Amino acid sequence: MISSLQQNVIETFTQRHGCAPTSVARAPGRVNLIGEHTDYNDGFVLPTAIDRASWIALRPRKDGRVTIFSRNHGELAEFDLATMTKIAGHWSEYVKGTAWALQEAGCKLNGWDGVTDCDVPLGAGLSSSASFEMAVARAFEVTSGFAWDPAKMALLGQKAENKWVGVNCGIMDQMISAAGKAGNALLIDCRSLEHRLVPLPHGTVVVILDTATRRGLVGSAYNERRAQCEAAAKFFGVKALRDVSVAQFNAKASQLDEVTRKRARHVVTEDERTVQAADAMQKGDAKLLGKLMNESHESLKDDFEVTNDALNVIVECARRAKGCIGARMTGAGFGGCAVALVEENTAASFANTVAADYEKATKLKPSLYVTHPSNGAEIIS
Ligand code: GLA
């Protein structure tokens, strides 16, 4: 079945260029089931690629110029691969940043004309930017002919984001967008980038609960949490908190100041929960997965302190609703989305109940999406 966004980018491309595109690239956003604020501690994460994505219809050019029209922004951006300059805050920086990182890695790039569209909500914490970077990387792959290695592409996307766009993210978002598989979550070891597919337990679905709150200062709070984790790793004499077991943490925790102790306790216990969650999924144990998700939220609320009232309220509404197996905030926090594991046959009534309860409690209108784990970045045609 041809998706409506796929159709949109093909049609707009054909109208603008007077010929059909030669390829269509697609790369998904993500929702993380468990393993939050662990990626930059070299730990474990368990996200799934969602069925919302960035799309690019494209056709190679004979020169080193890239032109891309964004249907979301109603705007054309153009640049030469040999002479790229930064325009802070512009959507096309993700295209240039990805091209820059690929060129830095030695890839010889060809230019292309493209049209892009995206139905990952922007700024909601569902990784619209990682999805765009990975779609752009696929566009360059198909026009320039280098090999697609998901981990390598994810690292280059992260480099684009860190060094070109200037956002200090970990590796999770690009990695799941590059390597996801339909029907599965992916257990990622963020140190080695080894990854293993784990199927969703039979009879369950993942529901994304967007609180409709956005927090402007996520960046500075995120960097502060990273620094606190680094200080804790230093105290334990290890490279990253990933190297501290729960027993090792407990043995020395009383020597830490309260804030550092709470931050480290979240990361150390979250790593353990994430590995347990992947095992639970492998065994089809939805109940245990749900329990671990609930515990993760409490830890993010009380120890890592990255929830807000809206996230706490929507998680409570979700847990009260029939069919909920577990619920937690997802992504960086401070606003954005929560995620719930729900019995498949109750998904529609669950979404209605949670939306009504949340709106009553907060006067905010949430968006709820039942999502199905999708493939990672791919060339569709
Ligand atoms: C953001 C970052 C990720 C990760 C999460 C928290 O989404 O982009 O790398 O650190 O926050 O788990």
Identify the band that residue 299 occupies on the pLDDT scale cut at 50, 70 and 90: very high
Tell whether 340 and 231 lie within a shared domain: yes
Lowest mean pLDDT, pick from 45-54, 119-128, 317-326: 119-128
| Ligand 1 contact via 40 beta carbon (within 6 Å) | yes
Beta bridge partners of 59: 113
Q: Is residue 380 a part of any domain in this protein?
A: no
Tell whether 192 and 210 lie within a shared domain: no
Across 311-326, average pLDDT: 98
State in Å, rounded, how far the first CA of the chain is from the last one. 13
Owner of token pair 């002479």: 83
| Ligand 1 contact via 332 beta carbon (within 6 Å) | yes
Read off the tokens for 150.
């998901």
Tell whether 149 and 28 lie within a shared domain: yes
Q: Is residue 138 a part of any domain in this protein?
A: yes
Q: Which residues are catalytic?
A: 173
Q: Tell me the helix, strand and coil percentages in the chain, rounded to 5.
A: 45, 20, 30
Q: Domains in the chain: how many in total?
A: 2
Compute the chain's Rg from CA coordinates: 21
Choose the final residue of a domain: 199, 228, 261. Answer: 199
Owner of token pair 């690292």: 155
Tell whether 214 and 195 lie within a shared domain: no
Read off the tokens for 266.
């979240």
Q: What is the CATH number of the domain that holds 63?
A: 3.30.230.10
Q: What is the pLDDT of residue 22?
A: 98
Q: What is the pLDDT of residue 277?
A: 98
Tell whether 102 and 179 lie within a shared domain: yes
| Ligand 1 contact via 173 beta carbon (within 6 Å) | yes
Contacts of 163 (CB under 8 A, 6+ apart): 97, 101
Is 210 within 8 Å of 31 (Cβ atoms)?
A: no
- What are the residue ranges of helices labelled H in 160-257? 172-179, 218-236, 246-252
Q: To test the ligand 1 pocket, which listed residue (129, 173, 266) has its Cβ within 8 A of the most ligand atoms?
A: 173
* Smallest CA separation from ligand 1 atom 11, residue: 332
**If phi over 0 gives left and psi between -120 and 50 gives alpha, with beta otherwise, what is residue 145?**
left
Between helix 172-179 and helix 150-159 the angle, nearest 10°, is 140
- The pTM of this model reads 0.97
**If phi over 0 gives left and psi between -120 and 50 gives alpha, with beta otherwise, what is residue 305?**
left
Choose the final residue of a domain: 151, 179, 199. Answer: 199
Tell whether 46 and 190 lie within a shared domain: yes
**If phi over 0 gives left and psi between -120 and 50 gives alpha, with beta otherwise, what is residue 122?**
beta
Q: Which domain holds residue 168?
A: 4-199
Average pLDDT, the chain: 97
Q: In this model, does residue 16 exceed pLDDT 80?
A: yes
Across 130-135, average pLDDT: 98
